[in-house]
Amino acid sequence: MRSNTAIYTLIGLTAIELIYTSLATASPQVVVPSSDVQYYQEYQNAVVIPTSESTSNSTRVATTSQPLPAARNELFVTATDVQIVGASEELQQIARNAIKTRVGGETSESQLQQDVAAILATNLFSNATVSSNPTATGLNVVFQVEPVVVHSLQLANAKALPQNVAIESIKPQIGNPISPAALSQSVEQINEWYAQNGYTLARVIAIRPNPQGVLTLEVAEGLINDVKFRFSDEDGRFVDDKGKPIQGRTQPDFLRRELNVKPGQVFREETVKQDLQQLYQLGLFQNVRVALEGDATKVDVIYDLTEAPARAANLGGGYNDDSGLFATVSYKDFNFSGVNDSIGADIQISRRDIQFDTNFTSPYRASNPDRFGYQVNAFRRRGISQTFDGDVSLPNDDRPREGQFGGSVTLQRPIDDWQASMGLNYKRTSIRDRAGNISPQDELGNPLTLSGTGIDDLATISFTATRDFRNNFINPTEGSVLSLSAEQSIPIGQGAISMSRLRANYSQYVPVDLVGGDRDSEVFAFNVQGGTTIGDLPPYEAFNLGGLNSVRGYGIGEVGSGRSFVLASAEYRFPILDFLGGVVFADFASDLGSGDTVLGEPAVVRDKPGSGFGYGAGVRVDSPIGLIRADFGFNDQGESRLQFGFGHRF
């Protein structure tokens, strides 16, 4: 007897998630796209698109349809043939893997009902029916299916992904029966777009079709949940011996204001790299790393910071012929109040004098572009004059001393690629003998100040612009830096000085590989600078040429003292040991024949040549107190000198 044809149609459908195997299903992963960024990612278990492989591996299927209980004394018959019609081979295979009725296996009316529900539960079919025909040996079963036809696309949780990009990837599916293989290609295209645009954590996690042909594309883009900071000691420990977290001096609220990464944003690798550079440029940290904790939907960005020593206090003393016995006190804090402000004070006390140099700096903050950075400085200093030192003395046979006190206020802010500053400066300069008595003239009767009284007042407005493309501010191996400055005096006080001063300074660093090894360790460094003064020129304000920071092999100011100058230097820097480097150098400077245009002609009466050349070799020692340099130079007068200092010449 022919059995009744069983036809089942699912009226209410509940969408299930189709989550792609591209997500990790194992333990948390660590992905390191750059040396400074670590990603800690943990994802939920994946639900696989129905395929011949996935459905055979006990794929989880979520559905609101309840399995129909088998009727009592239900008849089980052998399925002699099982066909699925109305869909592509791809969808047929998915439906075949979803059902339990197999050729040669037993089936029943309730089992066929469950098979229809399983087909509809894939969410790839808008309708499914089953019919059966008896045979001599069993039952032929035919499942008639209607695939979902894709009509539109909806995005879920997408903040970074443009709608047009998503639509373009799905476009081949619009108006056609749904194809998991085509959807997989669309997912790959979208994930590739995320990767190309720096959204390292973002990816498609689900496509949910409904019977009406609407695809809901759900993405997890790595939404930033929180920005945190962990401080470590020099050994890399985040907790102390008592198990308490290491406390940093830098205020977390200040750091959050300085960073571009904010909660609620989509994580982007390029933004993190910019923040790493910004943190290093603060000069507060020896090491900065980034860790991510969370999953692709929500992530915490954690900055692991090792602070550099920011405070230093020193006590010292000594003796020299000019001051006699003296004591020194110095204090510096480059992270005052934990907000990257700096304060410094140097005090020298001797029987004859008290000298000091104090400053406070609050730099420009990119996080607050309407606020200028500023610096306040006050000083009182005295020393042997670099301009007047030499064979010509004071009338009492003493060496001239320059005494100066004053201060400045400077405003700072960037303008495009330039760091610009404008300052108001004042200083009073006096020429004195060792006992502190004013000396307006030297022993030849030449004036030593513009006013002729031995005391001048100089107030100026200064402007400086610097464009710095060096890869390292302290020990550059590549790039360039250009600095331009102008200074205009305000004719007030003694001397009523009216002058304009212009200066330019350019350095270029070129990595080379002459002896092999690390290419960045060998560098050709070049520097050229020049300047001129227009109008009044107090003699002590002349450009002094020669010395450790000018032409090596000469003493300070021994080449010339001019109204104008040009200075050029070239160095070859190379490594010797990890902490030790070598330098071969050559320097040249000229006052451009302007020595006799300076009031009192200090260079002419002291027989300064006006131009000079020096060359030699030196070493650079990377020490806890900074880069120490020692240069042994020869000059074109046949003299040689060993000279010491801190930092590179340029």
* Per-residue pLDDT reduced to its tens digit, 541-556: 999 999 999 999 999 9
Give me the residue label for tokens 């969808």: 91
Residues 209 and 215 sit within 8 Å (Cβ to Cβ): yes
Give me the mean pLDDT over the 265-293 stretch. Answer: 91
Determine the Cα–Cα distance for residues 302 and 294; give it in Å rounded to an integer.
11
What mean pLDDT comes out for the span 135-163?
A: 93
Q: Which amino acid is at 378?
A: A
DSSP state of 635: E
Question: How far apart, in whole angstroms, are the C-alpha atoms of residue 32 and residue 485?
Answer: 44
Intra-chain end-to-end CA distance of the chain, in Å:
104
- Confidence at residue 519, expressed as pLDDT on a 0 to 100 scale: 58
Residue 44 has a pLDDT of: 29
How many CB atoms neighbour CB 74 within 10 A?
A: 11
Residue 296 pLDDT: 84
- Average pLDDT on 483-490 reads 98
pLDDT band at 64 (very low <50, low <70, confident <90, very high): very low
> For the chain, what is the mean pLDDT?
86
The rounded distance, in Å, linking the Cα atoms of 419 and 411 is 11
**Does the model's pTM come out above 0.75?**
no
258, 194 in Cβ contact below 8 A? Answer: no
pLDDT digits (tens, 9 = 90+) for 157-187: 999 999 999 999 999 999 999 999 999 999 9
pLDDT digit string, tens, across residues 495-508: 999 999 999 999 99
Q: Say what the alpha-carbon torsion angle 273, 278, 279, 283 is, to the nearest 10 degrees.
A: 140
Residue 599 scores a pLDDT above 70: yes
Boundaries of every domain in the chain = 363-646
pLDDT band, residue 52 (cuts 50/70/90): very low
234 pLDDT above the threshold of 90: no
CATH class of 363-646: mainly beta
Does the pLDDT of residue 593 top 90, yes or no? yes
Please check whether residue 602 is in contact with residue 446, taking contact to mean a CB–CB distance below 8 angstroms.
yes
Calculate what percentage of the chain has a pLDDT beyond 90. Answer: 75
Q: Where does the pLDDT of residue 24 fall: very low under 50, low under 70, confident under 90, or very high at 90 and above? A: very low
Q: Do residues 293 and 228 touch, judged by C-beta distance below 8 A?
A: no
